[in-house]
């Protein structure tokens, strides 16, 4: 089955700097890669996703890049703000199935 | 607010007991997914229902079961509870059997004493 690994497990950046979070996946049949943000006491919130037919997608300060050959995808957050502090999860679907396999999550801290 | 609702928010019970967690999907969504989130295992997919039928199964224990009702709300039943079942339980929903975007509810925190 699919295995999704996320690294690093924690990341601390200065406000205004960029943050990059990387994930790798194992199933070459996976074609959908979402990123979720989870704040304390809340459920995961979908912030951006990418499908395997594109290499990059951007939404304001957030972008995701996908390298299908290397089987990795990354979340890029520019001009970080304290409210970006949260746990971020990457995930990948299992082939044609909509089941998602999640990475372990990374705790992002943005220092004011 | 994702539009997915879950009740109760918190649940405290004893080992050996049985509990039921409830999820109402976003309006119009036919699929419901259940996940367990624990500190050591992360977010683990348990089971998916689509329009009342079981569609996919993940790491769901035999002591756990779920169903989706005609009004599309879903319930996750956990029985013979053990200390290790303490976790956050999330449901997510989307519009179809194989559409990928999933929208999560706020979760139910289960504590087994």
For A5-47, how does the pLDDT look when each residue is reduced to its tens digit (9 = 90+)?
Answer: 998 889 999 999 999 999 999 998 899 999 999 999 899 999 9
Structure tokens that stand for A85 in this block: 């502090």
Dihedral pair phi/psi, residue A42, rounded to 5°? -125, 165
* A residues 21-60 closer than 8 Å to B (CB): 32, 34, 36, 42-46, 49, 51
Work out how many CB contacts closer than 8 A connect A with B: 60
Closest partner CB to A100 (pick from B2, B4, B45): B45
Closest partner CB to B43 (pick from A32, A89, A97): A89
Q: What is the pLDDT along chain B (113 residues), one digit of tens a residue?
A: 889 999 999 999 999 999 999 999 999 999 999 999 998 778 999 999 999 999 989 889 999 999 999 999 999 999 999 999 999 999 999 986 666 789 999 999 999 99
For A64-96, how does the pLDDT look when each residue is reduced to its tens digit (9 = 90+)?
Answer: 999 999 999 999 999 999 999 999 999 998 755
Residue B95's pLDDT is 83
Distance of CA A9 to the CA centre of its chain: 12
Contact partners, residue B66, CB within 8 Å, separation at least 6:
B34, B46, B47, B49, B54, B60, B74, B75, B76, B77
- Cβ contacts (< 8 Å) between A51 and chain B: which residues? 100
Closest partner CB to B101 (pick from A43, A49, A103): A49
User: Cβ distance B93 to B102 under 8 Å?
Assistant: yes
Q: What proportion of chain A, given as a percentage, has pLDDT over 90?
A: 79
């Amino acid at each position: 089955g699919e295995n999704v690994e996320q690294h690093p497990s924690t990341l601390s950046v200065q406000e205004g700097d960029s943050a990059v979070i990387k994930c790798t996946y194992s199933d070459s049949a996976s074609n959908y890669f979402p990123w979720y943000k989870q704040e304390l006491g809340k459920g995961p919130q979908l912030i951006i996703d990418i499908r395997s037919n594109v290499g990059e997608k951007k939404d304001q300060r957030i972008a995701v890049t996908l390298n299908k050959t290397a089987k990795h995808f990354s979340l890029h957050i520019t001009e970080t703000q304290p409210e970006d502090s949260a746990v971020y999860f990457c995930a990948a679907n299992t082939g044609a199935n909509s089941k998602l396999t999640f990475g372990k999550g990374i705790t992002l801290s943005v220092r004011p | 607010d994702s539009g997915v609702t879950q009740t109760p928010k918190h649940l405290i019970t004893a080992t050996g007991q049985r509990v039921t967690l409830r999820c109402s999907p976003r309006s119009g969504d036919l699929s419901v997914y259940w996940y367990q989130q624990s500190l050591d295992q992360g977010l683990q997919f348990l089971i998916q229902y689509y329009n009342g039928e079981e569609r996919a199964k993940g790491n769901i224990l035999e002591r756990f079961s779920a169903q989706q009702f005609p009004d599309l709300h879903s319930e996750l039943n956990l029985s013979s509870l053990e200390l290790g079942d303490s976790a956050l339980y999330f449901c997510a929903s989307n519009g179809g059997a194989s559409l990928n975007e999933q929208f999560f509810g706020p979760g139910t925190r289960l504590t087994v004493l």
